[in-house]
Amino acid sequence: MSASQPETAADPGPGGILGIAIGHWQTTILQTAMADDLFTRLSGTSAAVPELADRLGYRLPGARAFLLALVSLGLLDAERGELRNSPTAERYLVRGKPQFIGGYLEFCARELNPAWSGLAAALRTGEPQNPAARNGNPYDTLYQDESATEAFLDSMDMFNTPIALRLDSLDWSRYQTVVDVGGARGNLAHHLVVGNPHLTATVFDLPALEPAFSRHMARLGDAGAISFLGGDFFTDPLPAADAVVFGHILHNWDEPQRMKLLQNAYQAVRAGGAVIVYDPMVNGDHPPLNAVLAGLSMLVWSAGGHEYSVEECHGWLAKAGFRPETVGAADAPDDVVVIGHKDH
């Protein structure tokens, strides 16, 4: 069959495979545009290809192919020879917009993508391909760079804002205090307190993040219902509370470390309280692709990290002394929420 013949159900052709193969090219196009602030410069305006190329310092004809690739990717719209941001790019790729995801894209470029280049080695050895993880905690090195820290925190807030809205729908009337373990600059804690004004929250994270927490709370106008406590959750006791949250935490570590964290939580949670766990868990033979990719990201970037199933999570919670309960569907397309109740 020639390459020009149409794909059929009997012979689907190589198009799907080739689409995967050139995925790196598309990533490079997006990362290049972001590095040059293309979408921010174009925000609210339109420009012809030569004009936009001149703004960016690009040379034709390569600039034309590059900009038209962004049109094909759905990131730019073209009409009558003028280019403008697509609605998606205007919403998510313009610096300063509330839903800007550039921090996550920068984190991918600086941290995750280089580690992914060692996937084959990680599969054979089980060892992380992130040098910082080989030497201990990858977050220690990450938080030494202010720009990298801000990009990472932006990405974490992007991920935890939707889950915060889901957690807000839980019955918080039985709890008065909550600790967000590894809660960074307090974005999730802020959402919980705003939705449940009777709550007081503590963010427990590495001391290096306290300045970022203070700045973020000042921007959000926190009235003092959220505090920060610096510490290492493997060596320091967790503060006592009615509820303890582990959001995108357990998947960073191996099983013995997960058990240690849950056992520490059991000591911290008051009787009648709970631990709340959320991660993109991998369940069944056909889990969502994002959950599998998250697991592989943990494999290459962290020491011992990987995704896990709801069943495994229930087992660890029960072993630590909690009564586990899954909130919503176990095959959710994003994060799965599991609660461990401390009945006594």
Can you give the CATH number for the domain in which 69 is found?
1.10.10.10
By residue range, what is the domain housing residue 75? Answer: 15-92
In-domain check, residue 115: no
**β strands within the chain, DSSP E:** 47-48, 76-79, 82-85, 177-181, 200-205, 226-230, 241-247, 269-279, 323-327, 336-341
Q: Is pLDDT larger for residue 146 or for residue 9?
A: 146
State whether residue 318 is helix, strand or coil.
Answer: helix
Range in 40-44, 68-72, 255-259, 325-329 the model is least confident about: 325-329
**pTM of the predicted protein model:** 0.87
Asked whether residue 309 carries a pLDDT value surpassing 80, the answer given is yes
Average pLDDT, the chain: 91
CB environment 10-46: b (16+ within 10 A), e (fewer): eeeeeeeeeeeeeeeeeeebbeebbeeebbbebbeeb
Asked whether residue 11 carries a pLDDT value surpassing 80, the answer given is no
Q: In terms of domains, do 82 and 179 share one?
A: no
Q: Is pLDDT larger for residue 301 or for residue 149?
A: 301
The catalytic site residues sit at 251
What mean pLDDT do residues 4-28 have? 81
Query: Domain boundary residue among 92, 111, 126?
Result: 92
pLDDT of residue 162: 87
What mean pLDDT do residues 43-60 have? 96
Query: Domain boundary residue among 76, 92, 108?
Result: 92
In-domain check, residue 200: yes
pLDDT tens track for 84-143: 999 999 999 999 888 899 988 988 998 899 999 999 999 999 899 988 887 767 777 778
pLDDT tens track for 198-213: 999 999 999 989 999 9
